[in-house]
Amino acid sequence: MGRMKKGEEAKEPSVPLAWFPDGKRITKPAYNRQLVCATLFREGPESRVGLHHRTGIPLSRLSEICGELLRAGLIRESVIAPAVGSGRGRPQTLLEIELRGLGVAGVCYGGDHMIAAVADLVGTVRWQRRWDGPFGDGAERLLRKISEAARLAVDAATKDGVQVVAVGAADPGTVDVTSGRAVRAVNVPGWQNVPVVDRLSKATNLPAVIERGDGWQALGEVAFGAGRGAGHAVFVTLLEGIGGGIVENGRLLAGRDGSAGEIGHTRVSEDGPLCGCGGRGCLEAHLAPARLTALWKGRPADRVQQAALRGKDIGDDFAKMLQAARENDPRAREVLADAATALARGLGNTISLLNPERIILGGEFVEAGDLLLEPLKQALPRYALREMLQGLQIRLAELGESSSFLGVAAHVRDRLFAYPSVGARFEEGASPLQSEVAS
């Protein structure tokens, strides 16, 4: 970015905050605004004098910055009475972040359905819409539908008075978060090396992010659901495709390119059922609801395998099997107990490797409740270090379909109100607390 010409005004984003990659040249006013917002978000409401002491920004400059942020709707003022005494004295005016007016648009998609939603940064889903597929053959058609859904969500947010600051894609497969591409989805034919982030950014004119849907769900549950208060959590979604996410101190662990957490494709047997990924014995293949319901009905092994790979055909069979288990059907309970044992093998390795304090189980299996949890807890000591099981909590997810969108909101909120990067560059060694334009 070159130096501005004389008389040219600095162009600032509609939301006067920025994503701060290391080394990016920024204006000093933008740096100061980011510092003020990050301080209020991470340290709580504060007076202007308190902000001066915390940030080092001169009071005269703070007055201007706070005015800009108040007009933009990013912060608000609250007046509190004196905390002690008879109530006489000067009330104190505090500034705090206004999160309800800011939000994200998210799109969660697969081969057979798509959901778009708007979530504010407090953690409330404000709008949601679902479409049932199929969406036509080929990645391009699905990509167009995703872009259309994102634009619709942004329009809905505007009508509701929510300013969308970013768009998030919840992908059903593996992703490369650096390039913004969907790498491969086992259950969506043709969905390989797709430039999702680039298309969403162009469609909405907003920053866009992509993550595995399981990762977003993990982050959403930890920020707003069953994982609240946990510093180290593992989320496992038990659907037709089984995935997971690892959250450490509020941050999603991505791995090398964003695909960390694929617990569904860890092998729990040597010669088990065929998986959609092409391998055998994956946890996902063992726990596929279609396979379990076929076993419950006593189908031959080859038909069981085929049913597991045709997950769309199960209809209400899985729900019927769960109901039968609740009514003490011995075969239904046996099938669930075997599924719990396979899950214990996968989770046992995860516990020994990651030492989490909480495991959150989501997806269709949430409906099983204790029918799954009890045999799982009984089997875990056979597959994990006992000392790592001490104090470990296993909970069922709370947020359902909302978890992905709330995960996007949690991620964007954390980035949006991050402290300015130490790598942010200013020309000629200028101080970031001065008010001139740096670049």
Residue 71: is its pLDDT beyond 50?
Answer: yes
Q: Are 33 and 90 in a shared domain?
A: yes
What is the spatial distance between Cα 64 and Cα 291, in angstroms, rounded to a whole number? 63
345 shares its domain with 317: yes
**Residue 3, domain member (yes or no):** no
- The closest of 62, 69, 34 to 48, measured between CA atoms, is 62
Q: Tell me: the pLDDT tens digits for 222-233? A: 999 999 999 999
Is the domain of 276 the same as that of 389? yes
Which of the residue ranges 151-155, 338-342, 366-370, 373-377 would you say has the lowest mean pLDDT? 366-370
Q: Which of 68, 98, 128 is the last residue of a domain?
A: 98
Are 235 and 379 within one domain?
yes
Question: 128-156 as b/e, with b when 16 or more CB fall inside 10 Å?
Answer: beeeeeebeeebeebbebbbebbbbbbeb
Q: Does residue 171 form part of some domain? A: yes
Q: 76 and 180, same structural domain?
A: no
d(CA 252, CA 222): 10
Q: Using 50, 70 and 90 to split pLDDT, how confident is the model at 304?
A: low
pLDDT of residue 383: 93
Q: Is residue 225 part of a domain?
A: no
pLDDT at 110: 86
Q: How confident is the model at residue 302 (pLDDT cuts 50, 70, 90)?
A: low
Count Cβ atoms within 10 A of the Cβ of residue 330 and give its class: 0-12 exposed, 13-18 middle, 19 or more buried.
exposed
The verdict on 384 and 316 lying in the same domain is yes
C-alpha distance across the termini of the chain, in Å: 7
Domain-embedded: residue 422? no
pLDDT at 434: 32
Which one of 63, 98, 133 terminates a domain? 98
Is pLDDT above 60 for 84? no
Least confident of 27-41, 66-80, 308-322: 308-322
Segment 86-92 shows an average pLDDT of 62
Q: What is the mean pLDDT of the segment spanning 24-47?
A: 87
* Sign of the CA dihedral with 279 first, then 280, 285, and 291 last: positive
**What's the CATH number where 276 sits?**
3.30.420.40
Residues 328 and 368 in one domain: yes
Q: Classify residue 41: in a domain, yes or no.
A: yes
How would residue 16 be classed by pLDDT, with cut points 50, 70 and 90? very low
**Strands, E assignment, 188-312:** 192-194, 208-212, 232-238, 242-248, 251-252
Please tell me whether residues 44 and 167 are part of one structural domain.
no
Structural domain contains residue 430: no
Model pTM score: 0.82
Distance from C-alpha of 150 to C-alpha of 433, rounded to nearest angstrom = 37
Same domain, 149 and 272: no
Contact 288, 238 (CB under 8 A): no
Confidence of residue 104 (pLDDT cuts 50, 70, 90): very high
Residue that wins the pLDDT comparison between 305 and 158: 158
- Answer whether residue 171 shows pLDDT above 70: yes
pLDDT tops 90 at residue 106:
yes
Within a domain: 425: no
User: What is the per-residue pLDDT for 430?
Assistant: 37
Give tens-digit pLDDT for 110-132.
Answer: 878 899 999 999 999 999 999 99
Q: Which of 75, 98, 121 is the last residue of a domain?
A: 98
- Tell me the pLDDT band of 315, cut-offs 50, 70 and 90: low
Look up the domain containing 334 and give its range.
230-398
Nearest to 29 by CA among 13, 43, 41: 13
Residues 47 and 190 occupy one common structural domain: no
Region 290-306 average pLDDT? 76
pLDDT band at 20 (very low <50, low <70, confident <90, very high): very low
Q: Strand pairing partners for 115?
A: 108, 130
Between 387 and 16, where is the model more confident? Answer: 387
Looking up residue 93, the CATH number of its domain turns out to be 1.10.10.10
Both 88 and 123 in one domain: the answer is no
Alpha-carbon distance of 162 to 94, in angstroms, equals: 23
Check pLDDT > 50 for residue 368: yes
Residue 43 counted as domain residue: yes
Same domain, residue pair 84 and 193: no
pLDDT, averaged across the chain: 84
| Domain count within the chain | 3
Residue-wise pLDDT for 384-420, tens only, equals 998 999 999 999 999 998 999 999 999 999 988 888 8
Percentage of the chain modeled with pLDDT above 70? 83
Residue 5 clears pLDDT 70, i.e. is over it:
no
For the chain, percent of residues with pLDDT exceeding 90: 54
